Amino acid sequence: MLTVKQFPFSPLQENTYVIYNEQDECCIIDPGCYFGNERNELKEFIEETGLTPKYLLNTHCHLDHIFGNKFVHDTWGLTLHLHEKEKVVLDFGPTFGLNWGLPFDNYKGDLIYLREGDTVRLGEDRFIILFTPGHSPGHISFYCPEQHFIVSGDVLFRRGIGRTDLPGGDFDTLARSIREQLYTLPDETLVYNGHGPETTIGEEKRQNPFVRG
């Protein structure tokens, strides 16, 4: 049984996720901790809960989702997992940071590339990798079919979708990802997204004003 803990971090209020099992193993998805107190909050939660981090995962590499990659790597020795098409986005992150007035030290370690259909296992639980580009060229989502939830990054929000005006973004591609990859999941699937509150696939198919089911 997996437990999902959400942390809204940075001035951009990006949702960082720590997902852990009953054996106290966890993965850290999209660490957006920018300020020192945010890094301390993440570290203290993991230590006080008695968790052992196993994976550092990125849905995509826009700056607000990667602020904490280096911190997580330096603290727990984890190697970054991402889609290979996000490498160029990762490399450009510090430049975006300067443009936004949010300079940061980027992750510079080894990379492990995930592809559509791959499985990330956390003990007896699993995440299936869905390829969901459009907001970013190599965006992926992490789907747990047994517990009916998905970590969708910036693809699908509650009554919203990811912006497509950034480099590598494309509305038609994003809409296709939502319809073909997300809206085909069971309606009860809980959507943990990159900003704001969670929603469900069924709610968005009925009520999302941008991409209807």
Mind listing the pLDDT tens digit for each residue in 68-108?
999 999 999 999 999 999 999 999 999 999 999 999 999 99
Q: What is the pLDDT of residue 213?
A: 85
| Fold of the CATH domain 3-207 | Metallo-beta-lactamase; Chain A (3.60.15)
Tokens 């940071």 correspond to 97
The residue that leads in pLDDT, 212 or 151, is 151
At 158, is the pLDDT very low, low, confident or very high (cuts 50, 70, 90)?
Answer: very high
pTM of the model: 0.98
Number of other residues whose CB lies within 10 A of the CB of residue 47: 10
Q: Which residues contact 197 (CB under 8 A, 6 or more apart)?
A: 158
Q: Report d(CA 124, CA 155) in Å as an integer.
A: 27
Domains of the chain: which residue ranges? Answer: 3-207
